[in-house]
Structures are given as structure tokens and as C-alpha cells.
Amino acid sequence: MRKIIKYFCIFAVLLIILHSCSKKDAKLAIVQLNAELEITEIENNIFLVTHSFPWPGNSLIVLMDKKNILWIDTPYTPEATISVLNWIEKKFGEQSSITEINTGFHIDNLGGNQELAIRNIPIYGSDLTCELLETRSKTTMSNMIGWLNGEKNKKYRDVYSNLSLYKPSITFNINEEQKVLVGSNEVIIYYPGPTHTYDNLVVYIPSQEILFGGCMILSANTEKVGFIEDGNLDEWSKSLTNLQERFDNIRIIVPGHGNPGDSTLIAHTKGIVDASK
């Protein structure tokens, strides 16, 4: 009898574990829009959009309430942005209201702005992002095109050579913290200082305790700072300290590239930045 009870208990524990794993896997369901574009539901109504064109870059979609949607950054291109907009319409309905926030002037932050502007979707961004689009973007795009050597990268070179980058439609002083209502939920836009670029912002969602850190935050698997010609390596670590002091209740951090993590990604990024000086 004792053996039967023992085996029953083991079986029950296994069932609980399997059920837990299946629930976790369900939350991480992936929608493949095309070979280069996928959407992963990392939590209920929180979606990581990854566009590999050719470097995997992240944007984030959050259903804030009912049909009010927050979208932070865009895919690299208007065409990919159209695909995501079609997915949003299909999933949440044609009456969905979208608010976009650009966290910087690079193409992986706002390459899809053109399509958003055509649809009159409000796009928040800083005055410095607008300035850098005018003064630095041409040089930065030339650098990117120069990295795309060989026939296999011809598609990307052609797209980047002809892409028009659109400014945010709602601008603000980068040094003044912004609190934006998306539906009935508040979103905080904060500038901790120069990092990967001089204009990289973060977006914090208090109701979800989620921080979109963008390219100033490096994923757990990243070991190098990457492209820093538009940023300030000396100030990066100080800016991360400012970020830690401003938000002490972060459950999830979404980096600009790679997998989301928790607040330890800030210390991880600091370590890599300090080692690179």
C-alpha cells in the first residue's frame, strides 16, 4: 500500500511539473510573420517583435487596456511594420488604438515610422532624436551599408540605400521626463544620459513593471558593446546608474537585441561597458 501511495505522489508531482511547463510554453508561443519577422508572446498580451534584417532587433507591443496598444520602437523597415500592423488588426480588431514611442534615431528604433505616419499613428520621440536624424543619420546608414558585403546581403543594401527615415510626430525635451497615458495606463519615458547613442531613451510601464531598455541594455548572451560611434562609452556606465536609481522595481527588461531578462541585465551591461573602456 505504501508503494502505491509513493508512486501516486510521484505521478502527481510529474503531472504538476508537466502542466507548469505547458503553461510556460503557451506563453512563449511564436507567430512567424515571415522568414525575418516573428512575434513572441512573452507574457499575456505582451509581445516581443523581432525583425532580423539582417541583425535581430527588438520592438515591444503591449495591450494596455481593451484596444489601447503601446508599441515601443519599430522593425527596420516600413514593409515589416505593415506586416505587424496587419497582425495587430487581426488580433485586436480594426478599432485598435496604437501609441508608438521611438527610443532613439537608429534604424532599429524608427525604420518603420513612415508607415505609422501614413496611418496618423502618434509617434513620441525626443528633440535630440530629431536633431540626430538630420545630423548623424546619413553617416550611420552609410556605415551600416558598408558592413553588408557580398551577394547575400544585396537585398539589405538596396533597402537601406533607399530608405527614408521619418521623425517622431510628437516631440519633447529629452531632459524632461514624460508621462504618457495609453488608455488609462501611465507610461514613463526617461532619459538616463548618453549610452549606446546620445539619445537612447527607456520606457517604463509601471502597471507591468516592465522596462524597455533598448540598445543601452545588452542581453545576457551579449559580450561586446557593439557599434558605439554614435554614443559615449565613458558616460554609459553613469547613465546606467541613473537608470537604477530612477526605477527600483523592474521585473522584466527588454534589450534592443536579444532575449528579455530581469534587472540584472543592468549590472551585466555595466560590466561589459566598463571592460570596454
What's the pLDDT score for residue 205?
98
* Crossing angle of helices 233-246 and 264-276, rounded to 10°: 160
Alpha carbon 122 to its chain centroid, in Å, reads 18
Condensed to tens digits (0 to 9), the pLDDT of residues 126-143 reads 999 999 999 999 999 999
Angle at 38 between CA 50 and CA 76, to 5 degrees: 45
pLDDT value at residue 22: 38
Q: Is residue 273 within 8 Å of residue 233, measured between CB atoms?
A: yes
Predicted confidence at residue 25, as pLDDT, reads 43
In angstroms, the CA 277 to CA 275 distance is 6
- Nearest Cα neighbor of 185 from 69, 74, 96, 95 is 69
Q: Is 0.85 topped by the overall pTM?
A: yes
In CATH, the architecture of 26-276 is 4-Layer Sandwich (3.60)
Residue 66: predicted pLDDT: 85
pLDDT of 94: 87
Predicted pLDDT at 29: 86
Give CA separation, 11 vs 7, 8, 21, 24, 76, in Å: 6, 5, 15, 20, 48
Read off the pLDDT of residues 177-203 as tens digits, 9 standing for 90 and up. 999 999 999 999 999 999 999 999 999
Q: How far is it, in rounded angstroms, from Cα 234 to Cα 32?
A: 39
Please compute, for residue 4, the number of CA atoms within 13 A of its CA located in the half-sphere on the CB side: 1
Q: Please state whether beta strands 46-52 and 56-65 pair in parallel, antiparallel, or not at all (unpaired).
A: antiparallel
Please report the pLDDT score of residue 89 as a whole number: 96
Boundaries of every domain in the chain: 26-276
Which residue stretches of the chain have pLDDT < 50?
A: 1-27
Measure the CA–CA gap between 9 and 223, rounded to whole angstroms. Answer: 44
Structure-derived torsion over alpha carbons of residues 261, 265, 266, 272, reported in degrees to the nearest 10: -150
Distance between CA atoms of residues 47 and 58, nearest Å: 10
Interacting residues of 5 by C-beta distance below 8 A, sequence separation 6+: none
